[in-house]
Structure 1
Amino acid sequence: MQFDDLGLDRRLLSLIAHRGFEQPTDIQRQAIPVVMAGKDLLASSKTGSGKTLAFLLPAMQRVLRSKPLSRRDPRVLILAPTRELAKQVYGQLRMLTSGTTHKAALVLGGENFNEQAKVFRQSPTFVVATPGRLADHLKQRNVSLSGLEMLILDEADRMLDLGFKEQLDSVNAHAEHRLRQTLMFSATLDHQQVTEIAAGMLKSPKRVAVGEAERLHSDIEQHFVLCDHLDHKQALLEHLMKANVHKQVMIFTATRADTERLAERFTQAGYKAIALSGELNQASRSRIMNEFERGFHEVLVTTDVASRGLDLLNVSLVINFDMPKHAEEYVHRVGRTGRAGHQGLSYSLVGPKDWRSFKNIEGFLQQKLEFTAIEGLEGKFKGFKEKKVPNKKSPGPAKRQKTPVKKQPKAPKKRDKSFYNNVPVGDVPLAKKKTKPES
């Protein structure tokens, strides 16, 4: 199937062809016709599957081909869990709106609230926002959603995990009318809260599930390496950087301190490296990601703040210096490479402190993961043996205990009551008569 077969507007087809997209991905092929038919959609797909265009293309189609319900209110609202993902969606949206009269606004937490209020007064057609900041603007009545035509929730499971259910309910209440179409994308459809909120926000939705969220792309080659301690990890990290040909590298750590320390270490070694963590302010984070995306830096050392939503085509190597706490984050981290048909490579360093996380990932991926040995850097740590729980035999039916028989008191012995020389001797034992010694 080609994009031409989906019935998209010729202006959209021209933009798609200009970007080099020829055939729709699985999620695009299944989702776009459903959305263009006006149906609500509940969809899941693995990371890097092209789901962003799966909802942006039909949203643009609706805007280009139909009249607005309101000339003042936004027509399409896209909510994303993090600022990084919202920026990535906004970047692709700007590509589609270029050359049209339709404006797009990006509304993020941590940025100037009053400036965002001014943007709403310009009546943008599209709004891409994080749920917390949008809820704040709704409280201040800076924006109205009465004329909203399409509500899109990207990575709804992540938004719920981050505690945005109250904000999502608020958005739903402000845009509650029968003409609204709602699209919900989630990494998994088995998420209990996703199921609950979908029941309240979507009307008879079509369900689309492409692939399995816990599976990685077949074009990502993954390796796991056992290591003993921090110094061993750093030696392995430096070896992997030198041994593998790469364009750009992302290194994931557990703490901000490690991002800064490793970035400085690689800078001293001659690499163009930079650190990114969630504790930086929004302006710094935006600048760092923009510079990395444009190729100004070769190595990005980061926490999980950059594990989702970033479409970085030049990242050919991902290294987990520390294993993630949550198993699903492993898929998102490694999914930063091997995108858009490119080959990807990942290495995960597993030390004693990472063992439990490794076993959780193994269970999440539902496969037995093998370890790769690096010649000359083999470690002594071989993993922890799982404790075998003894199989306790189930007790059989309880044996019937015999009721103890009470002992009857013994009958008193009958004594001889006979008389001897008119003396009763029955009660007195007979004494043996002493013999007198002969004189």
Structure 2
Amino acid sequence: MPQRILLFQNLGKGWLMVRLGTYTIGIKIPMLLNMSGPQCQTVQLKPLSLLWCPGVIAAGLLGSSAGSALSPDAYRRQHEITVTGDSVPPPFTSFEDTGFPSELLREVLAAGFTSPTPIQAQSWPVALQSRDIVAIAKTGSGKTLGYLLPGFIHLQRVQRNRHMGPTVLVLSPTRELATQIQAEAVKFGRSSKIQCTCLYGGAPKGPQLRELERGTDIVVATPGRLNDILEMRKISLSQISYLVLDEADRMLDMGFEPQIRKIVKEVPARRQTLMYTATWPKEVRKIAADLLVNPVQVNIGNVNELVANKSITQFVEVLAPTEKHRRVEQILRSQEQRAKVIIFCSTKRMCDQLARNLTRQFSAAAIHGDKSQGERDYVLNQFRTGRSPVLVATDVAARGLDIKDIRVVINYDFPTGVEDYVHRIGRTGRAGATGEAYTFFGDQDAKHASDLIKLLKGANQLVPTELQGMAARGGGMGGKFKRWGSGPGSGFGGRGGRSDSNFGGRGGRGGRSESSFGGRSSWNSGRGGGRDSNRGGYGNNGSGWSRARSRSPERFN
């Protein structure tokens, strides 16, 4: 017998949201049907029974309310959510709990989402109260919709004039992430008639300026390009009342702190600020303390230490430089045909060289800071569609790229630290999927051995004895490379010599070149000089909005 319909909601345009027992179902029906007609039949969709009628063309789970049957504390424990702040509202465990407008729920249904991710479930109710948020969650956790959907609701509430300037501003570290955020904003904001403009370097300013002139509700921008356009007086931020800093840790790591503070100086003090970050180092804590007012902090997982995604099987292989290319070919041959693989190299030169060597057999393509925007877009499209299933990249792709079906990540060169390692391998195992990461580790990487072992153990991964030996000695292997395998198909590993000449120092060169992704000093606008003295010191007057800015310049640790 089909379960009784307990709740029925017409979302319009053929979409119905119905509650059957303890489950919520989204069904698209092109016309009004007699649900009890003789042509209807019972269809088993475990664990449900559905009454299925002719004309129903799509159906999918919106999420089990088994989650909503849990108490807020039980839900948080189950999903490793911790919250800090005053009177934190309970999480939304299903989409119907959100109270989002029907047109927005239709977009969610059409996109095939099943239930809010933990970061969405807890950050949405806070954001809808117009409160500041610091959200700390790994990449691939659904944070983009975590701030975009409440941003759409905010736009409906404030009803500003888009021709006077944007109302919502999202800052992003890279153009790739910025364009992906824009794509999501356009996709989910279409039915709400929301206009979004993306501002990033490495592309002509003209088309971006013309979009601004036509009027926009949301601006997604990299800090460097937005600063350029601010200096040209071609954009006003005086209407911004919803500010998002996405991947804040990465923006600070790339040296964008002065630009961020300069931008925030142009934004009204009376605003809502949301900061999303994958890690929680002291630099991020400092800027959060300066820019946010009485924020609610939402943590997914353990934020006191760096943790790798447990859905990723990690293989660390210690091997000689001369063995790396052969090992890469072995790994690629062991994958299913057309499976998507990202290979990370530390230099642009090695990136191009390896891609050339792999192109004939594996249809590889390269992406790095010396590629034009057109070349990057073409390569990423080839990768997304599977025409070039192997992408060889510098760290430009280590954060922000949201390609959900990447099967394997290979660290041909070990990165400059374990934080970048976590973000690199985080390109796989996204949105609940599993993945594999192969890392070649060599003598020159020995200083990272102890931190890497801690990460591996924290994610319940096997630790090679050679890696343990390197950590115990506090040094390298003395030129003696060994093979180690942690599972079927794994042979050996390691990495060869590497030149970090493509990476600038944190306080390195001045002038900005947003088209260069090769190093930490890229996009830096005068970073070698003094820091921005216009720091925002904030106080609370009880309303959650008051900010009293500090006039005295301060230095940063």
Shorter-chain TM band: 0.7 to 0.9
Tell me which of 171, 177, 195 is aligned to 2:285. 195
- Report whether the alignment pairs 1:384 with 2:505: no
Tell me which of 277, 288, 293 is aligned to 1:186. 277
Native 8 Å contact 1:323 1:358 kept in 2: no
Native 8 Å contact 2:456 2:463 kept in 1: no
Distance of 1:66 and 1:387 partners within structure 2: 61
Native 8 Å contact 1:352 1:381 kept in 2: no
Q: Secondary structure at the match of 2:164?
A: coil
Native 8 Å contact 1:248 1:314 kept in 2: yes
Distance of 2:335 and 2:468 partners within structure 1: 24
Tell me which of 130, 136, 145 is aligned to 1:38. 130
Distance of 1:18 and 1:119 partners within structure 2: 28
Question: Offset at 1:283?
Answer: 2.2
Tell me which of 296, 300, 315 is aligned to 1:210. 300
Native 8 Å contact 2:343 2:412 kept in 1: yes
Aligned equivalent of 1:146: 238
Structure 1 or 2, whichever has the larger Rg, is 1
Native 8 Å contact 1:131 1:164 kept in 2: yes
Distance of 2:432 and 2:214 partners within structure 1: 39
Aligned equivalent of 1:315: 406
Aligned equivalent of 1:52: 144
Distance of 1:70 and 1:381 partners within structure 2: 56
- Report whether the alignment pairs 1:160 with 2:246: no
Q: Secondary structure at the match of 2:214?
A: coil
Note the 1:219-238 alignment, pairs <5 A.
219-227=311-319, 229-238=320-329
How high is the sequence identity, in percent, across the aligned residues?
36
1:137-185 per-residue CA deviation (whole Å, 9 max, x = no partner) reads 111110101111201000111111211112111211111232x111111
Tell me which of 171, 180, 184 is aligned to 2:263. 171
Note the 1:85-124 alignment, pairs <5 A.
85-124=177-216
Question: Offset at 1:366?
Answer: 6.3
Distance of 1:358 and 1:296 partners within structure 2: 36
Say if 1:333 and 1:388 are closer, same or farther in 2 by CA, change over 3 A: closer
Which consecutive unaligned segments of at least 5 residues does structure 1 have?
374-379, 390-439
Say if 1:385 and 1:23 are closer, same or farther in 2 by CA, change over 3 A: closer
Tell me which of 28, 33, 36 is aligned to 2:120. 28
Native 8 Å contact 1:76 1:125 kept in 2: yes
Native 8 Å contact 1:80 1:155 kept in 2: yes
Q: Secondary structure at the match of 1:121?
A: helix
Q: Secondary structure at the match of 1:339?
A: coil
Distance of 1:384 and 1:365 partners within structure 2: 15
Question: Offset at 1:65?
Answer: 4.4
Distance of 1:347 and 1:364 partners within structure 2: 14
Aligned equivalent of 2:488: none
1:413-435 per-residue CA deviation (whole Å, 9 max, x = no partner) reads xxxxxxxxxxxxxxxxxxxxxxx
Aligned equivalent of 1:409: none
Say if 1:34 and 1:69 are closer, same or farther in 2 by CA, change over 3 A: farther
Distance of 1:114 and 1:36 partners within structure 2: 35
1:56-111 per-residue CA deviation (whole Å, 9 max, x = no partner) reads 11111222344227651101110001111112211211211223422110100121
Give 2:302's aligned amino acid.
Answer: E
Distance of 1:109 and 1:75 partners within structure 2: 22
Native 8 Å contact 1:226 1:371 kept in 2: no
Native 8 Å contact 2:384 2:403 kept in 1: yes
Aligned equivalent of 1:240: 331
- Report whether the alignment pairs 1:357 with 2:448: yes
Distance of 1:318 and 1:149 partners within structure 2: 39
Native 8 Å contact 1:41 1:206 kept in 2: yes
Say if 1:381 and 1:98 are closer, same or farther in 2 by CA, change over 3 A: closer
Q: Secondary structure at the match of 2:313?
A: strand
Q: Secondary structure at the match of 1:345?
A: strand
Native 8 Å contact 1:352 1:383 kept in 2: no
Distance of 1:62 and 1:250 partners within structure 2: 37
Distance of 1:343 and 1:364 partners within structure 2: 18
Native 8 Å contact 1:59 1:76 kept in 2: yes
Question: Offset at 1:193?
Answer: 2.4
Native 8 Å contact 1:105 1:119 kept in 2: yes
Q: Secondary structure at the match of 2:219?
A: strand
Question: Offset at 1:188?
Answer: 2.5
Say if 1:192 and 1:95 are closer, same or farther in 2 by CA, change over 3 A: same
Q: Secondary structure at the match of 1:24?
A: coil
Distance of 2:103 and 2:199 partners within structure 1: 27
Native 8 Å contact 2:308 2:422 kept in 1: yes
Question: Offset at 1:289?
Answer: 1.4
Q: Secondary structure at the match of 1:207?
A: strand
Say if 1:318 and 1:388 are closer, same or farther in 2 by CA, change over 3 A: closer
- Report whether the alignment pairs 1:137 with 2:232: no
* Structure-2-length-normalised TM-score: 0.64
Native 8 Å contact 1:60 1:96 kept in 2: no
Distance of 2:342 and 2:329 partners within structure 1: 13
Native 8 Å contact 1:276 1:288 kept in 2: yes
- Report whether the alignment pairs 1:300 with 2:394: no
Distance of 1:22 and 1:192 partners within structure 2: 36
Give 2:389's aligned amino acid.
Answer: E
Give 1:150's aligned amino acid.
Answer: Y
Native 8 Å contact 1:56 1:93 kept in 2: yes
Tell me which of 420, 432, 444 is aligned to 1:341. 432
